C-alpha cells in the first residue's frame, strides 16, 4: 500500500511540474518571447495544453475567470496547484 501512495505522490509531483511548465510557456508565448509559429514550440504547447486543460476546464466551470477592465485573472491554476499540494500532504500523512 505504501508503494501505491508513493506512485500517486510521484504522479502528483510530475503533474504539478507540468502545470508550472505550462504556465511559464504560456507567459513566454503571450509576450512573444517564444515564437509560436515554430513547429516544435507549437507541438510542446499543444501537448502541455492537452495534459493540463481537462481539470482546469472543470475548475473554470465552478470558478470562472475574473475579469476587470483589461485584466483577466484565471484562478483555476492556483486552485489546481493548491489541490495537488493538499493531496500530496495527505498522501505523505498516510505513508507515515
Q: What is the pLDDT of residues 71-91, one digit of tens each?
A: 888 999 999 999 999 999 999
| pLDDT at residue 95, as a whole number | 84
| Cα three-residue angle 57-62-66, rounded to 5 degrees | 85
Backbone angles phi, psi at 10, to 5 degrees: -65, -40
pLDDT at 1: 78
pLDDT at 48: 96
pLDDT attached to residue 14: 98
| 8, 48, 49, 57, 73 from 12: Cα distances, Å | 6, 15, 17, 18, 24
Question: Which pTM value belongs to this model?
Answer: 0.88
Residue indicated by cell numbers 493531496: 87
Ranges of the chain whose pLDDT falls below 70: none
84 to 16, 30, 60, 79: CA distances (angstroms): 7, 26, 16, 9
Residue-wise over 82-94: b if at least 16 C-beta within 10 A, else e? eebeeebeebeee
Amino acid at each position: 500500500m505504501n508503494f501505491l501512495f508513493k506512485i500517486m505522490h510521484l504522479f502528483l509531483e510530475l503533474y504539478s511540474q507540468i502545470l508550472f511548465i505550462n504556465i511559464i510557456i504560456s507567459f513566454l508565448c503571450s509576450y512573444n518571447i517564444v515564437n509560436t509559429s515554430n513547429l516544435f514550440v507549437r507541438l510542446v504547447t499543444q501537448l502541455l495544453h492537452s495534459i493540463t486543460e481537462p481539470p482546469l476546464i472543470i475548475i473554470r466551470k465552478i470558478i470562472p475567470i475574473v475579469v476587470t477592465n483589461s485584466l483577466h485573472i484565471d484562478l483555476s491554476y492556483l486552485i489546481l496547484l493548491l489541490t495537488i499540494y493538499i493531496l500530496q500532504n495527505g498522501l505523505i500523512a498516510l505513508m507515515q
